[in-house]
Amino acid sequence: MSVAAEPRTAQSLRSGGRPAPDPAQRRRALRHLASPVSVLTVSHSDRLHGTTVSTVTTVSLSPLILGACLKAGSVFAELAAAEGRFSVNVLGGTQGPVARWFADSSRPDGAEQFAGLPWHADPYGRAPLLEGALAHYTCRLVGSTVVGDHEVLLGRVVHAVTGDGDPLLSFAGGLFAGALNPVAPRNDTPTKKENTAP
């Protein structure tokens, strides 16, 4: 007795017979990429602006260049391009409310965004530097590129200051803070054992 083959859709044929990709599942998987939370700040023509991002990464060590991802066409990207500089504030574990504030699209514009927050002007770029941040980076904009629905700003670090504490992390759609426990200290790193014949 012969059994009729199950019809294969055009989409399954394109994927080589594998299950069709699930966009929603891919987006859920991306939420499991843990990342530090930062607030980017800029000052242009006496207009101050800040925005929360969870994607700031080292692009090059020599020269030291950071990449920051924003929604394409954002106000911040426009101001940073006009000013040619921006600053990165890496948030500490107690600064969850600061991260949520600068992610709130209903917050006021301009200097009012920073009302009630302790900060001082970046001596190298005039942008607000938030007190309590783990690190401040002053960046000179050296390039930008649009990738899909985001824009990547490339900033060469011209000055940096670091502090102490634990980072604020974004993971699975939430913000987390806590002490970082090393998994394997360098002096306890396992070494590969050689196999010897009996």
Look at residue 186 in the predicted model and tell me its pLDDT: 67
Q: Against a cut of 0.95, is the pTM above it?
A: no
Three-state DSSP class for 181? coil
Whose structure tokens read 């824009």? 151
CATH of 34-170, one of 1.20.1370.10, 3.30.420.10, 3.40.50.2000, 2.30.110.10: 2.30.110.10
The domain spans of the chain are 34-170
Whose structure tokens read 């970046």? 122
Question: 152 - beta bridge partners?
Answer: 69, 145
Look at residue 6 in the predicted model and tell me its pLDDT: 46
Question: Is the torsion defined by CA of 88, 90, 149, 103 positive or negative?
Answer: negative
Are 76 and 109 spatial neighbours (Cβ–Cβ below 8 Å)?
A: no
Look at residue 197 in the predicted model and tell me its pLDDT: 45
Look at residue 196 in the predicted model and tell me its pLDDT: 42
Sheet holding 38-44, edge to edge: 47-53, 38-44, 85-90, 135-147, 150-162, 64-71, 56-61
Q: In a structure prediction context, what are the per-residue pLDDT tens digits for the chain, which is 198 residues long? A: 554 544 544 554 455 667 767 877 777 777 767 789 999 999 999 899 999 999 899 999 999 999 999 998 899 999 999 999 999 999 999 999 999 999 999 999 999 999 999 999 999 989 999 999 999 999 999 999 999 888 999 999 999 999 889 999 987 778 888 777 777 766 655 555 544 444
CA distance 130 to 98: 9
